[in-house]
Chains A and B, each alone.
Chain A
Amino acid sequence: MIMNKKYLVGVFDDEHTLVDAFEKALAKGVVIEEVYTPYPIHEILHGMKNKTNITTAAFLYGLFAVAMLIGGMYWAAVVDWPLLFGGKPFNTFPSFIVVTIVGTILTITILTLLTFSVRSKIYPGKTAVIIDIRATDDKFIIVLDQDKMGIKKPEVTQLFQTHGATEIYEQDANTN
């Protein structure tokens, strides 16, 4: 999938130079592939415009779980196999709620995990694509796809250099 991509990688030492370069690059119309930082940064989150609908999905899974759990318990306790417990009605609704709360949390967790895995194409045992190992430590990395940067390479290099990039290099995606 990402085999033959050629990347241009800019390495920054701290948050301020990174955000500065990031915003200047966006203003110039540079298409940024991805930014890797040791911790989340508001400006990057806003600038990348990565929107997620996973919360909506989680809410729908919750509705699904509530319907299935209450429906299932009602079916088991009232329709299919009614049992008398010391004068209690068959439909013991308040005691269904406890199971519903716990079961809903479990269902949402598992289904959201699966959705996330499918959407971001990860699975157990997959080799991680790490553009620059130092991004997991203390460096801030901006990654550009050389085929669709929206701007010429020397200009990007110059832009990054004037805004405090400590290092700029090219990399093939499949070398790591």
Chain B
Amino acid sequence: MESKMHNLEDRLIVQKNFKYLLYFLIGIGIISMVAGFVLDPERAWANYLLNNYYFVSLAIGAAFFGAIQYITQAGWSSAFKRIPEAMASYLPFAAVFFLFMYFGMHTLFHWSHEGITQTDALLAHKAPYLNVPFFFFRVVLFFGLWILMTKLLRKLSLKEDAEGGMVNFYKSEKYSKILIFILGISFTLFAIDMIMSLEPHWFSGLFAAKSFIAAFLHAATVIALIVIILHKIGHLPMLNRSHLHDFSRYIFMLSIIWGYFNFAEYMIIWYGNIPEETIFYVSRSQGVFGVLFFVNIILNWFIPFLFLMPRMTSRSKLFMVPIIVLLMIGQYTELYYYIWPAVVHGSKFGILEIGTYLGFLGLFTLVVTNTLSKANLVPLNHPYLEESVYHQF
């Protein structure tokens, strides 16, 4: 058998034209943001929060994905581990953006209003946790921990490329174990801060866990998409149908968990019928949001569940790519469904939303491709690399 282990040294070179396209997208994003702040600040801040959360959840989900691969000592994915690493490198940018949210606190979070604790007994009760200084202390703490841990893992990964040996692998595994504990606790609290506290009177026990699963699901889909694109433009020659099947299994499995959590949360609230809980769905059952409720379920659960079930479709790019794109839209509609009724009190959607999304997408792609181009696309000294290259089932 001809060896596939040769010629794995391969660097991504980002084309000039592609970079200009990304700068153009970022330009569109900046114009949309500025126009938004002038024309309709509430909508602009809602956009800002949505896109920030969207891409930070991709980065966090990717970091979690990478850590899981180390902890389970998964062989199949080791050739693609640079992609989750590169996605996690977006975190420092996201940290800056989230700190800028200081100026939009008043618009976004009504618990931050001056003097509201005097008139609102529940918010007074929650004030020891939900107050602006502690909120930003948490943002700084969480991002600090995430950036520290992902940088550490990235450093070990590059060191392994240079030196080889098993030391860095075992160290990475150890730090991955620490990372998933940090992510499990901090990202759920982060989701409560950023999304759930938009409705500070609402109670739900499952929301944070659901947000975590949503982040993991959508990050897994974007990792698969980036791998497929890189393969398409001539990199990652080892990608075969078995790898695709494994990516599909991640998407399939996580979309089932997402559907389960989404249903469990809704069913308990519907059955219990307590005003503290049902308030969330009252404003979200009118007009477009009543439709979006079902659109969410169709995009994030039904389509992946049905179309990734057969063996044939789950190992075919022709089926996977449209499903991935639909899941990326699904993540947007899910966040739109949470944020808009709370902040904008209506279903405004237009050029501002699309422009802002394109801007953030451009920045995210720029950061990811930039990080990818800084190291060899395949981790050459990874102990499981051979297993990954010859992966077949």
Chain A residues engaging chain B, CB cutoff 8 angstroms: 42, 55, 59, 94-95, 97-98
Contact = CB atoms under 8 A, between A and B. Distances in A.
Given A55-B311, A59-B309, A94 B270 contact: yes
15 contacts: A42-B392, A42-B393, A55-B310, A55-B311, A59-B309, A94-B263, A94-B266, A94-B267, A94-B270, A94-B271, A95-B267, A95-B271, A97-B263, A97-B267, A98-B267
A94 B271 CA distance: 8
A40 to B, nearest CB: 10
Contacts of A59: 309
Nearest to A56: B310
Given A42-B392, A94-B263, 7 more contacts: A55-B311, A59-B309, A94-B266, A94-B267, A94-B271, A97-B267, A98-B267
Interface string B255-273: 0000000010011001100
A121 B11 CA distance: 56
Nearest to A59: B309
User: 8 shortest A-B CB distances, which residue pairs?
Assistant: A94-B267, A94-B270, A95-B271, A97-B263, A42-B393, A42-B392, A94-B266, A95-B267
A102 B263 CA distance: 14
B273 to A, nearest CB: 8
Contacts of B270: 94
A95 B270 CA distance: 9
A138 to B, nearest CB: 23
Contacts of B263: 94, 97
B74 to A, nearest CB: 18
Interface string B303-339: 0000001110000000000000000000000000000
Contacts of A95: 267, 271
A95 B263 CA distance: 10
Contacts of A55: 310-311
A95 B266 CA distance: 10
B334 to A, nearest CB: 19
Nearest to B271: A95
A95 B267 CA distance: 7
Contacts of A97: 263, 267
Nearest to A45: B393
Interface in B266-319: 266-267, 270-271, 309-311
Interface string B365-393: 00000000000000000000000000011
A44 to B, nearest CB: 13
Contacts of B309: 59
Nearest to A98: B267
Nearest to B266: A94
A94 B263 CA distance: 8
Contacts of B266: 94
Nearest to B264: A98
Contacts of A42: 392-393
A49 B392 CA distance: 17
Contacts of B311: 55
A18 to B, nearest CB: 18
Which of A42, A55, A94, A97 is the most central at the interface, judged by chain B CB atoms within 10 Å of its CB? A94
Contacts of B267: 94-95, 97-98
Contacts of B271: 94-95
A95 B264 CA distance: 10
A162 B177 CA distance: 50
A95 B271 CA distance: 8
B277 to A, nearest CB: 14
Contacts of A98: 267
A56 B266 CA distance: 31
A136 to B, nearest CB: 24
A97 B311 CA distance: 26
A63 to B, nearest CB: 11
Contacts of A94: 263, 266-267, 270-271
Which of B267, B309, B392 is the most central at the interface, judged by chain A CB atoms within 10 Å of its CB? B267
A97 B267 CA distance: 9
A151 to B, nearest CB: 27
A42 B242 CA distance: 12
A95 B311 CA distance: 31
A67 to B, nearest CB: 16
A64 B110 CA distance: 49
